[in-house]
């Protein structure tokens, strides 16, 4: 099977590439890495940060490179008290927290023709849980909210958490979800916590991004072993 593993930043996929002998293809201002892994063919890329970049890369992985399933791996800011730096979750569903036509009476996150929340694939989430057990990881789950903003503000953090009942915040998951939903490709989103999205979150992010990204990437690779 052709399986896409997508991150947003180099740090989020480098732990994968370190373990593989991959061939690099440059296309559309992106780098795509092709590698064999057991019976599977992997397509690995980092999209660059944000919803637009990740939309493009996810679409290319599916439409140009033929990915049949997609695993997103990376880091996120925690919105809930119980989720700490270094812990990891999978998204049950994803929403765009910055999509706003509320002036017309619509709810936050909604535009006509698209669902507010996109669910991740139950089968992949099941495999993520099995993979986590094998690695001895305590895999949590929850709603993930995405937007084109690094959240490092207590008020914004509280609002996103309350409005969408979201557990974590990042900048790509919900756009990748829209792509996979539209193209009928099963997908999941793994995110290890790098910061708590409050004041000065950027300092925690810088300190923990590499370590947390590695935790998520390892889980993604273990999932591929079980697929
Ligand atoms: C975006 N990613 C962060 C990109 C940071 C620095 C040059 C994940 C993330 C995140 N996104 C970790 N913590 C976050 C937060 N508090 N708000 C938004 O996907 C770029």
pLDDT tens-place string over residues 169-199:
999 999 999 999 999 999 999 999 999 999 9
- The pTM of the full predicted model, rounded to 2 decimals, is 0.98
Marked catalytic residue, from 11, 170, 195, 196: 195
Task: Supply the mean pLDDT for the chain.
Answer: 98
Q: Is the pLDDT of residue 106 over 90?
A: yes
* Centre of ligand 1 from the C-alpha of residue 63, in Å: 27
The reply to whether 12 belongs to the active site is yes
Q: Is the pLDDT of residue 19 over 90?
A: no
What the chain holds in terms of domains, given with CATH numbers, is 2-226 (3.40.50.1580)
Q: To the nearest whole percent, how much of the chain has pLDDT over 70?
A: 100
Give the sign of the dihedral formed by CA 109, CA 110, CA 114, CA 120.
positive
* Centre of ligand 1 from the C-alpha of residue 77, in Å: 7
Other beta carbons less than 10 A from residue 93's beta carbon: 21
- Mutation to probe ligand 1, out of 55, 77, 84, 215 (largest number of atoms < 8 A from CB): 77
Beta strands in 79-220 (DSSP E): 88-96, 118-119, 139-146, 166-170, 187-195
44 pLDDT tier (thresholds 50, 70, 90): very high
């Amino acid at each position: 099977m052709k399986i896409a593993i997508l991150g947003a930043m180099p740090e989020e996929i480098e732990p994968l590439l370190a373990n593989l002998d991959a061939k690099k293809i440059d296309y559309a201002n992106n780098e795509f890495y092709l590698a064999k892994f057991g019976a599977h063919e992997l397509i690995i890329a980092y999209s660059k940060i944000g919803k637009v970049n990740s939309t493009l890369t996810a679409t290319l992985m599916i439409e140009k490179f033929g990915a049949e399933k997609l695993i997103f791996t990376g880091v996120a800011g925690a919105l809930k008290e119980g989720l700490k730096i270094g812990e990891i979750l999978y998204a049950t569903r994803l929403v765009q927290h910055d999509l706003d036509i509320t002036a017309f009476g619509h709810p936050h996150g909604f535009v006509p023709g698209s669902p507010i929340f996109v669910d991740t694939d139950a089968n992949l989430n099941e495999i993520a849980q099995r993979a986590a057990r094998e690695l001895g990881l305590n895999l949590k789950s929850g709603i993930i909210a995405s937007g084109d903003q690094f959240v490092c503000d207590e008020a914004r953090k509280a609002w996103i958490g309350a409005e969408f009942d979201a557990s974590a915040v990042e900048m790509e998951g919900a756009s990748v979800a829209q792509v996979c939903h539209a193209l009928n490709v099963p997908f999941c989103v793994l995110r290890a916590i790098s910061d708590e999205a409050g004041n000065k979150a950027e300092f925690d992010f810088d300190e923990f991004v590499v370590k947390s990204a590695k935790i998520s990437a390892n889980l993604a690779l273990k999932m591929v072993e079980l697929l």
